[in-house]
Amino acid sequence: MGSEAARFAVEPAELVMTEHTVRAVDAELAELGGKVRKLGELCVTQVTEAIEALGEHDVPRAERVVAGDDRVDALHREIEDKAVGIVARRQPLARDLREIIGALRISNDLERIGELAENVARRAMLPGDKPRIGVMSQLERMAELALAQLRQVMVSYEAQDVAAAIAVWSNDEEIDALENSLFRELLTYMMENPRNVGFCTHLLLCSKNIERIGDHATNIAESVYYIVEGHQLSGQRPKASLIDAAGLTA
């Protein structure tokens, strides 16, 4: 006890002040990060529920997803206000500042993911039969991949794990490939029978929405990289070409 008291006694006042200040910023950044992770979890739920509502043609569940988007928007705004508040009060620098800019960016991507889930849910509410099994299972596979990307990138954000973020960033190809194959399949159904045109178009737009959820997950990976490394992730992400896929169908 005596030696501890002595240690505190020799500590200069400025250092204690600095540590105090640092801890206050840290607490605010932790709160901000917590809100971003909460938004991430909410978006995972929204996407999961929207896809299940679509597959089961479950209108009440789709309605809950649509209503749930208000919570996504509210949390997104809360994060923006909190981030701006921290910058104004704490005048953070370097890594702290990047964490705030990163939180703003990630929250922006998550808000769009929420919007895409809402779009899918709205399509699940449309009158019509359950989509045919084969097509729906491909859409579900795409959604699983997109959700895995989203979950992994949020884990990389929590752990500030650059390697994990880069893995997500490089891993978007399979979703794109599935989207291309589903696109072609839906076009053949539309050509086969005019009665298929309506629901196939809706599924096609759903598959675009899911592909974009995957794109936003890779954007989030870029933000995690930026927070930790202090510069932008450059280079071309591997991506199945739109032209290659569309060449067959045009």
* Interacting span for its own copies (CB under 8 A) from 16-24, 27-35, 145-153, 195-203: 195-203
Q: Which of 69, 106, 123, 146 binds its own copies (CB under 8 A)?
A: 123
- 233 is a contact residue toward its own copies (CB under 8 A): no
Q: Which of 11, 21, 26, 77 binds its own copies (CB under 8 A)?
A: 77
- 136 is a contact residue toward its own copies (CB under 8 A): no
Q: Which of 192, 229, 238, 239 binds its own copies (CB under 8 A)?
A: 192
Which SS3 state, helix, strand or coil, does residue 156 take?
Answer: helix
What is the helix, strand, coil percentage profile of the chain, to 5?
A: 85, 0, 15
Give the nearest distance from C-beta 218 to its own copies in angstroms. Answer: 13
- 22 is a contact residue toward its own copies (CB under 8 A): no
Q: Which of 187, 228, 237, 240 binds its own copies (CB under 8 A)?
A: 187
Q: Which of 22, 30, 159, 246 binds its own copies (CB under 8 A)?
A: 246
DSSP per position, 61-110: HHHHHHHHHHHHHHHHHHHHHHHHHHHHHH---HHHHHHHHHHHHHHHHH
Report CA-CA distances (Å) from 228 to 47, 87, 221, 236: 28, 18, 11, 20
Cα separation, 105 vs 117, in Å, equals 19
Nearest to 146 by CA among 65, 212, 222, 66: 212
- 3 is a contact residue toward its own copies (CB under 8 A): no
Q: Which of 120, 175, 204, 227 binds its own copies (CB under 8 A)?
A: 204
- 17 is a contact residue toward its own copies (CB under 8 A): no
Give the nearest distance from C-beta 219 to its own copies in angstroms. Answer: 10
- The number of residues in the chain equals 250
| Per-residue contact string for residues 49-68; x = within reach of its own copies by CB under 8 A | --------------------
Cα separation, 153 vs 155, in Å, equals 5
Cα separation, 41 vs 117, in Å, equals 13
Dihedral angle computed from the Cα positions of residues 16, 22, 26 and 28, in that order, rounded to the nearest 10 degrees: 100
What is the CA 246 to chain-centroid distance, rounded? 27
Footprint on this chain of its own copies (rule: CB under 8 A): 77, 80-81, 84, 87-88, 91, 93-94, 97-98, 101, 104-105, 108, 119, 122-123, 125-128, 187, 190-192, 194-195, 197-199, 201-202, 204-205, 208, 232, 242-243, 246-247, 249-250
